[in-house]
Amino acid sequence: MLNIESTAIEARDNLISQKVATLPPSGIRKFFDLLSSMEDIISLGIGEPDFVTPWHIREAGTYSLEKGYTMYTSNSGMPELRQELTSYLELHYGISYHPEHEILVTTGSSEGLDLALRAIINPGDEVIIPDPCYVAYPADIILAGGVPILIPTNEENNFVVRATDIEARITKQTKAILVGYPANPTGAVMSKKESRAISELAKKHDLLVISDEIYARLVYGDEHICFPSLPMMRECTILISGLSKSHAMTGWRIGYVAAERRFIQALTKIHQYTMLSAPTIAQMAAIEALRNGEAEVQKMVQEYNRRRRFMVKRLNEIGLPCFEPKGAFYAFPSIKATGMSSEEFAEKLLLEEKVAVVPGTAFGACGEGFVRCCYATSLSNIEEALRRMGRFIRKNRLTT
Ligand SMILES: Cc1ncc(COP(=O)(O)O)c(C=O)c1O
């Protein structure tokens, strides 16, 4: 078996902070270390759009360079961009924010998430998160001095964290609930009823909600519920999002935070010392994306939806039962019928069939028995990957 425990930092090195030294390396990175040495792999592993940023957006970036927009912007981000972001949120989710005081442009939503946690956490504060969840959630909470409290989710509850399960884990130290729907790695979305139950809980226990809505535009059924648009949630929600997934702009590093003024002020305090401002050229491109990018977004969503349907159908056909993911670009099939652990399955599949998927355990203990398959790759790649996966299941006589 291959050793995928590749990059753990030596915990006894006194020059490295204990917090960092003991932080486990990302399960995704660990797995992709394996891939870098192999050829002809079909990857269903990487969680980013396979589309290149639409041309008119790239052109806006090029133009900004030609015009010499190479300086810092205001800490909060260019006023025109903040204005576009408020219009965008109003248009899509019917929620209004003040462009000057309630929006912060960040270097990807990753920065927004880190800022939000650092701005609210006192040492030992607990932040509730679903398990499985995006790899950065527990790590960012720990780095901010907090304690992640994992709430198990499973197929029965469609991988959506339930208010009753959250309530059972609330203590005096609980500061916030961090939710991220549509979800990475499961593709789960949260219904209005489920969101409302969590909002009522947050109100009842005076908790903050951090809502990571980076996949908000990638939904394939009901409309996305923007958490702060729920009754009384605007005042206690920090909304995190960005253009990486919706506009195929991962490398540009543009994200944003929308929240009431006191939160934005707190986040901006950290941002002004650590990041100064998000990349200027990328901010110019983001303005163009928000002004004129809607048709391209919809085209990409349609294409993801086509791939999603195909992938889920084929996974079920080859004996890997998969609940229907209604958002993002991930399917999360069960591999329990194979008798293998998620890591064994992913490693063996990679070595025998050269198909990369991510073990569910990279996203938390409750991911055991599942693998994440990303369908942000061409339909022909997905077809071939699933053909190989079908052969893998048959060859190893693993089905029950
Ligand atoms: C759930 C989730 N949140 C946040 C991010 C970070 O996105 P970015 O920093 O590119 O905006 C990702 C990236 O994969 C993600 O899956």
Please report, for residues 231, 280, 304, the alpha-carbon distance to residue 60 in angstroms, rounded to integers and kept in the order given.
Answer: 38, 12, 25
Index of the ligand 1 atom closest to the CA of residue 109? 11
**Residues 148, 259 within the same domain:** yes
Looking at residue 13, its pLDDT comes to 72
pLDDT at 222: 84
Q: How far is the CA of 214 from the centre of ligand 1 (A)?
A: 6
Ligand 1 centroid to Cα of residue 54, in Å, is: 19
Residue ending a domain, choose from 292, 312, 346: 292
212 and 284 fall within a common domain: yes
Domain boundary residue among 292, 307, 330? 292
Counting ligand 1 atoms within 8 A of each CB, the residue from 28, 32, 110 with the most, and so the one to mutate, is: 110
**Residue 12 maps to a domain:** no
The pLDDT of residue 12: 63
Which of 236, 262, 292 corresponds to the end of one domain? Answer: 292
Helix or strand or coil: residue 370?
Answer: strand
Domain total of the chain: 2
* Ligand 1 centroid distance, CA of 301 (Å): 17
Q: How far apart are CA 15 and CA 64, in angstroms?
A: 42
Residue 47, domain member (yes or no): yes
Give the integer Cα–Cα distance in Å for 24 and 372. Answer: 20
Same structural domain for residues 29 and 59?
no
- Identify the pLDDT of residue 400: 47
Residues 222 and 86 in one domain: yes
Q: What is the pLDDT of residue 47?
A: 87
Residues 24 and 120 in one domain: no
* Domain at 152, CATH number: 3.40.640.10
Contact call for residues 187 and 217 (beta carbons, < 8 A): no
Which residues have CB under 8 Å from 368's CB, separation 6+?
341, 342, 360, 361
In a domain, 37, yes or no: yes
Q: Is residue 185 domain-shared with residue 232, that is, in the same domain?
A: yes
Q: Are 229 and 277 contained in the same domain? A: yes
**Whole-number pLDDT of residue 398:** 53
Q: Is there a single domain that holds both residue 137 and residue 82?
A: yes
Q: Give yes or no for a contact between 257 and 106, defined as CB atoms under 8 angstroms apart.
A: yes
Residues 6+ apart with CB under 8 A from 85: 97, 99, 103, 105, 256, 258, 290
Q: What is the pLDDT of residue 397?
A: 62
- Structural domain contains residue 380: yes
- Phi, psi (rounded to 5 degrees) for 91: -65, -45
Considering the domain architecture, whether residues 306 and 228 belong to the same structural domain is answered as no
Look at residue 395 in the predicted model and tell me its pLDDT.
Answer: 85
**27, 184 contact by CB (below 8 A):** no
Q: Is the pTM of this model over 0.75?
A: yes
CA–centroid distance, 14 to ligand 1, in Å, is: 32
| Dist. CA 255 → ligand 1 center (Å) | 9
Ligand 1 geometric centre to CA of 241 (Å): 8
Domain check: are 59 and 39 in the same one?
A: no
Mean pLDDT per block of 10 residues along the chain (400 residues) reads 43 82 80 77 90 98 97 98 98 97 98 98 98 97 98 94 96 98 97 96 97 98 94 97 98 98 98 97 98 97 98 96 96 95 94 95 96 97 97 74
Residue 302, in any domain of the structure: yes
Distance of alpha carbon 121 from alpha carbon 165, whole angstroms: 22
Same domain for 36 and 178?
A: no
For ligand 1, atom 13, name the residue with the nearest CA: 47
User: Which helix (H) or strand (E) element contains residue 103?
Assistant: strand 103-106
Q: What does the angle CA 61 – CA 63 – CA 68 come to, to the nearest 5 degrees?
A: 100
Residues near ligand 1 (Cβ within 6 A): 47, 108-110, 134, 180, 184, 212, 214, 242, 244, 250, 255
User: CA-CA-CA-CA torsion for 170, 171, 176, 177, nearest 10 degrees?
Assistant: -20
Q: Whose CA is nearest to atom 3 of ligand 1?
A: 214
Structural domain of 302: 18-52+296-395
